[in-house]
Structure 1
């Protein structure tokens, strides 16, 4: 073949390749003849409870199910789901579990709850916060030594990672999220300049930095047994009374006596109302503006009296209650109830139990440490 013929053949080959590109290799596609971005769009619309089985199809699917691209797509399509997370203490160890659905009874009645990897360090008395798809375990103590560390569980990838350290160690502190930042209050003895200046701190996940929150000396109690955020204000209940920090104006104050006397256990805020159980074991809601407690009507026959061991969380705008119940033999049943709550227009609080059932059976002596809800 002469030079002219060779050049002509090369040009023809180039032109043909440009007009008719070779078909993509099926080995590089998650589904043959289907673009990966289309597959990702479809995958993002599937309930997250099916992901564990989908990840077993092949290595490529496993990687895609656990990719950041999938969770970004879910956020854009507004197909994210909220899951309940539990921290239990069994003997001297701490265990984490999650429910993968808005209604776990409809997924797998035999085993609706799944264990999570153990936290690398198991502190006693940490503070908890949820921000986006991440759960923050802040401070606590090991061998009675307060820690300044923070562990972060990324719900999307099912893994723990060490977060930036606080300026001081603290245990039994209060924590709350306001405007995308985590505020931590108390949990340390103000016996030094550093602890005094950093009695309250704020964490910015964007910069990854902790910063002190100025506070007057008269509010610096040591231990905090409960906390909540209502209308941009962080409420922290101490052994005696409690304090409230208005983030918007940077102002500290004392909680009202009615709130202090009526707050028991771990509360949840739904629709601007703070819910917990009272000394008679009934669920009540506190209206911050009216400074009054109101009994939650309509649920009395469906729930026991919560004399101890109950914790609550806002779950998609509903009140989720988790408590312990004596099982058969040497077992404890972890119960869960999903409650729709509303104000009836006359100032009264009403509720309706959507479902209630056993979600986990654990050895006798187990106790609920905390429950949280994360959306991703």
Structure 2
């Protein structure tokens, strides 16, 4: 009998077998694809990932892009940190290579907004990790580069990265709509700035650091306001929110967390021995409730290479209200790229 005519699992209906296959960890897919052609076909389809999402058993998967200094092109990878000795999985680059684009993760999809192709563009490039394929989404109303962008309750918001006088300085997109299209979000001229240097979502509000101070946008109340001065002063580079605390690093390279309710920064204790000081910066992401840090370091090949390393940190509160971190995993030198390369995007998708 032809392999395609066999049941997926002998003795079980295929609909039950599909649920069993979907519950297997994503890391086992390469091995499971060798069971049979029918299994391979199932694992290459989006169905198991859709089912995993419906069952709330999706796994986080770290997705990064590394920008090379000479060509300006980016290399994209999936990183699977809990698999020891697992090589980074290359993924196809977007159809339009851009500089200064903003990345927004939404479930299994990554939305890459705008950027520059010599001049700012309005492209929306969508990567579907279930299919490992890029597609083009509805273009933004305003071309943007180095904008603020994030998703709040399934809706993508983008602002800045264009002239403050632009009619669509701020706009939104609901990808789940029947006919997704960008809509202008009213914003007072007093808050508008061009360049945005960091974005995060905290308490359902979109926070952004700009050239002059910062901006808070509350989609539920449709209100705009300034970021607290203490937050702006301590926010360096890319930040991540874990457990309603915003994390970044200070000028000494120490990881710190900002408590919005208390309005203060606290250094994360317990990381000094296992992690380097991030004097040259690091990229942060929320990886399934862990704080993930990705950084560049000097390679061993006579300074000709840059090594990419990353770590996952479990965070907890101390009795005195401080923050303690415990390194759960540490992967050093997982990628070796040309000297001068840097991490341009780092997000967590769900598969």
Query: What TM-score do the two structures reach when normalised by structure 1?
Result: 0.87
Distance (whole Å) between structure 1 residues aligned to residue 171 and residue 56 of structure 2 = 33
Q: How has the CA–CA distance of structure 1 residues 270 and 66 changed in structure 2, closer, same or farther, with 3 Å as cutoff?
A: same
Distance (whole Å) between structure 1 residues aligned to residue 25 and residue 326 of structure 2 = 26
Q: By how many angstroms is 1:28 displaced? A: 5.4
Distance (whole Å) between structure 2 residues aligned to residue 33 and residue 246 of structure 1 = 53
Corresponding residue for residue 16 of structure 1:
none
Corresponding residue for residue 21 of structure 2:
43
Listed as ranges, the matches of 1:342-353 within 5 Å are: 342-353=316-327
Among candidates 75, 92, 97, match of residue 117 of structure 1: 92
Q: By how many angstroms is 1:30 displaced? A: 3.4
Among candidates 187, 200, 207, match of residue 161 of structure 2: 187
Distance (whole Å) between structure 2 residues aligned to residue 333 and residue 298 of structure 1 = 24
Q: Is the 8 Å Cα contact of residues 207 and 215 (structure 2) preserved in structure 1?
A: yes
Distance (whole Å) between structure 1 residues aligned to residue 130 and residue 89 of structure 2 = 15
Q: Is the 8 Å Cα contact of residues 246 and 252 (structure 1) preserved in structure 2?
A: yes
Among candidates 69, 83, 99, match of residue 104 of structure 1: 83
Listed as ranges, the matches of 1:1-376 within 5 Å are: 27=5, 29-31=7-9, 33-91=11-69, 92-100=72-80, 103-105=82-84, 109=85, 111-143=86-118, 145-191=119-165, 195=166, 197-207=167-177, 208-329=180-301, 330-358=304-332, 359-376=334-351
Select the structure that is richer in helix: 1
1:135-183 Cα distance to aligned partner (Å, 9 max, x none): 110010101x111110011111111110111111010001111111111
Q: Is the 8 Å Cα contact of residues 108 and 130 (structure 2) preserved in structure 1?
A: yes
SS in 2 for 1:214: coil
Corresponding residue for residue 5 of structure 1:
none
Q: How has the CA–CA distance of structure 1 residues 174 and 29 changed in structure 2, closer, same or farther, with 3 Å as cutoff?
A: same
Distance (whole Å) between structure 2 residues aligned to residue 164 and residue 268 of structure 1 = 27
- Which of 50-59 and 311-320 deviates more? 50-59
Distance (whole Å) between structure 1 residues aligned to residue 193 and residue 60 of structure 2 = 34
SS in 1 for 2:233: helix
Distance (whole Å) between structure 2 residues aligned to residue 217 and residue 236 of structure 1 = 16
Q: How has the CA–CA distance of structure 1 residues 28 and 164 changed in structure 2, closer, same or farther, with 3 Å as cutoff?
A: farther
Say which structure, 1 or 2, has more relative contact order (CA 8 Å, 6+ apart): 2
Number of aligned residues: 344
1:76-95 Cα distance to aligned partner (Å, 9 max, x none): 44332111111110131111
Distance (whole Å) between structure 2 residues aligned to residue 34 and residue 24 of structure 1 = 18
Q: Is the 8 Å Cα contact of residues 27 and 83 (structure 2) preserved in structure 1?
A: no
Distance (whole Å) between structure 1 residues aligned to residue 181 and residue 93 of structure 2 = 25
Q: By how many angstroms is 1:233 displaced? A: 0.8
SS in 2 for 1:142: coil
Distance (whole Å) between structure 2 residues aligned to residue 199 and residue 292 of structure 1 = 31
Q: Is the 8 Å Cα contact of residues 305 and 338 (structure 2) preserved in structure 1?
A: yes
Structure of greater Rg: 1
Distance (whole Å) between structure 2 residues aligned to residue 260 and residue 72 of structure 1 = 39
SS in 2 for 1:227: strand
1:227-275 Cα distance to aligned partner (Å, 9 max, x none): 1010011111111211111122111111121111111110000111100
